[in-house]
Structure 1
Amino acid sequence: MTRACNPLIPWLVSALLGLIGNTCAAGVMADHTRLIFNEGQAQESLMLANTNAYPVVIQTWVDKGQGDNLPQNIVSAFIAMPAVFRLQPSALQSLQVILTDRNLPVDRESVFWLNLYEIPPTQDASAPDTTRVTLAMNTQLKIFYRPKNLPIAPEQLTNALHFRLEQTADGVLLICRNDSPYHTSFASVRLIQGDKIVAGISDTDLLSSPYSERRYHLDQNLLKSHDQLQVRYELIDDTGRAKPGQAPLR
Structure 2
Amino acid sequence: MMKRFLKVPLLIAMLAAALPCLAAQEHPDGLSINQFRIVYPASETKGITWSMTNNTHRAYLMQSWVRPLDQATGLPVAEEDNKGPRDALPLLVTPPLKRVDPGEPLTLRLRQTGSSLPQDRESVFYLSVKGIPSAPDKASQTGGQLVVAVVNNMKLFYRPAGLPAGGVTKASEQLRFSLQGDALVVDNPTPFYLNFSQLKVGGQALPAATLRTLVPPKGQQRYPVPKGARNEVEWQVIGEDSRPTPVQHKTL
Same fold (TM over 0.5): yes
Q: Which amino acid aligns with 1:147?
A: P
> Is residue 153 of structure 2 the alignment partner of residue 140 of structure 1?
yes
Native 8 Å contact 1:124 1:130 kept in 2? no
What is the Cα deviation at residue 46 of structure 1? Answer: 1.8
Measured at CA, do residues 203 and 240 of structure 1 come closer, stay the same or move farther in structure 2, by a change above 3 Å? same
Cα distance in 2 for residues equivalent to 1:216 and 1:125: 53
Native 8 Å contact 1:164 1:249 kept in 2? no
> Is residue 222 of structure 2 the alignment partner of residue 215 of structure 1?
yes
Structure 1 length normalisation: TM-score? 0.76
The equivalent of 1:39 in structure 2 is 42
What is the Cα deviation at residue 28 of structure 1? Answer: 2.4
Native 8 Å contact 2:197 2:211 kept in 1? no
Higher relative contact order (CA 8 A, sep 6+): 2
Residue by residue, what CA displacement relative to the aligned partner does 1:114-151 show, whole Å, maximum 9, x if unpaired?
A: 11011123455343332243221111112211122235
Give percent identity, aligned residues only.
23
> Is residue 244 of structure 2 the alignment partner of residue 242 of structure 1?
yes
Cα distance in 1 for residues equivalent to 2:133 and 2:127: 19
Q: What does residue range 97-246 of structure 1 map to in structure 2 within 5 Å? A: 97-123=110-136, 125-150=138-163, 153-154=166-167, 155-167=169-181, 172-192=182-202, 197-201=203-207, 202-218=209-225, 221-223=226-228, 226=230, 229-246=231-248
Cα distance in 2 for residues equivalent to 1:71 and 1:79: 17
Q: Which amino acid aligns with 1:114?
A: L
What is the Cα deviation at residue 62 of structure 1? Answer: 0.8
Native 8 Å contact 1:30 1:46 kept in 2? no
- Superposed CA RMSD in Å reads 2.5
Larger Rg: 1
Native 8 Å contact 2:122 2:193 kept in 1? yes
> Is residue 97 of structure 2 the alignment partner of residue 90 of structure 1?
no
Gap regions ≥5 residues in structure 1: 1-21
Cα distance in 1 for residues equivalent to 2:246 and 2:144: 47
The equivalent of 2:77 in structure 1 is 66
Among 55, 79, 99, the alignment partner of 2:92 is 79
Native 8 Å contact 1:35 1:44 kept in 2? no
What is the Cα deviation at residue 71 of structure 1? Answer: 10
What is the Cα deviation at residue 92 of structure 1? Answer: 1.2
Measured at CA, do residues 162 and 23 of structure 1 come closer, stay the same or move farther in structure 2, by a change above 3 Å? farther
Structure 1 moving runs of 4+ over 4 Å? 69-72
The equivalent of 2:6 in structure 1 is none
The equivalent of 1:15 in structure 2 is none
Residue by residue, what CA displacement relative to the aligned partner does 1:7-27 show, whole Å, maximum 9, x if unpaired?
A: xxxxxxxxxxxxxxx962454
Measured at CA, do residues 244 and 159 of structure 1 come closer, stay the same or move farther in structure 2, by a change above 3 Å? closer
Q: Which moved more, 1:151-160 or 1:233-242?
A: 151-160
Q: Secondary structure at the match of 1:156?
A: helix
Native 8 Å contact 2:198 2:211 kept in 1? no
Q: Which moved more, 1:130-139 or 1:22-31?
A: 22-31
Cα distance in 1 for residues equivalent to 2:133 and 2:173: 45
What is the Cα deviation at residue 61 of structure 1? Answer: 0.6
Cα distance in 1 for residues equivalent to 2:211 and 2:153: 14
Q: Secondary structure at the match of 1:135?
A: strand
